[in-house]
Amino acid sequence: MDSIKEYKLKNENGISAIILSYGGIIKEINTPNRKGEIENIVLNYDLNDEYFNDKFYLGATIGRCANRISNSTFKLGEKKIRLNENEGKNHLHGGHNGFHKKNWELVHYDKDRKFVQLSINSIHLESGYPGNLKCEVIYTINNYNEIKIEFFAKSDMDTIFNPTSHSYFNLNPSNNSILKHKLKINSSNYIPINNESLPLGIIENSIKTPFDFTKNKEIGEEINSNNKQLKIGKGYDHCFVLDKEMSTAAELSDELSGRKLIISTDRPGIQFYSGNYLSGSFSKNQGLCLETQNFPDSPNNLNFPTTTLKANKKYYTKTTYDFSII
């Protein structure tokens, strides 16, 4: 494999990011706290080579299909498609050879360090997915303190496609827990899961339950509640159905550091994962993921928004991170 390359983005307000060619990984997002001190607010490894053995999808670009597909199979038209198994009998985050394991090619790196454009080609039947698919991701930073993530894709055959970005945020990196962070999600419904973290195929109302984040709430407030879904996930690891697309999907804030993150997207869902299985170099709940995406196992749940990408049809999606001080 070619060596891992780093691409630094920066704006005029002290906010910067480092993107890796390997996995399209967001290695750093550096923002000021209330005192003006610049710190990295995403979990990462010190050495780039450590990402080769990463099992947490740290900061990675995920594809072709984020989240889980039950029994690693689905029907596409009349064809039964079998994908590689990489989580028991199920398929997770694009399989062993997903986008997170690719060294992405550079398309364009802005001389003012305002954006970087990366590209990969995923060949027919790679990890079992039909079609030769080309995917590009563009990371952009601006002086409004936003980082935008845009995906473009096209396949020469009908396939499924559901990319996401898998950064673990901790707005107060001096504290190894995000349980005091406050979270608000623009969602009044979520998708319950079974013991394999696969969706039950239904959408449940979250109001007045531990999954109610319609108002700012500390993540740790109800995470240890006597709730079957929280026990299955050992915390939060669920997809929330967004009430309105291309608006604010989620707001994350930390009182001690004064940092605030607003996420907006055109996707129908956001996976909230509270870092329940972090271990080794990291501690449980040291970071959290807010992954904008289509619903998990959509190809096997026809009542969910489709992830089918028709042959030669152009795919586009955008998610924006907006950083500020509370």
d(C-alpha 315, C-alpha 259), whole Å: 33
Number of neighbouring beta carbons within 10 Å of residue 245: 15
Per the annotation, the verdict on 291 as an active-site residue is yes
Please identify which of the residues 91, 93, 166, 238 carries the catalytic annotation.
Answer: 166
Mapping DSSP onto H, E and C, the string for 22-62 reads ECCCEEEEEEECCCCCEEECECCCCCHHHHHHCCCCCCEEE
Per the annotation, the verdict on 100 as an active-site residue is no
On the CB side of 69, CA atoms within 13 Å amount to 30
Please identify which of the residues 126, 136, 251, 291 carries the catalytic annotation.
Answer: 291
d(C-alpha 183, C-alpha 180), whole Å: 9
**Whose CA is closest to 154, among 129, 128, 132, 173?**
132
d(C-alpha 184, C-alpha 205), whole Å: 16
Write out the catalytic residue numbers.
166, 291
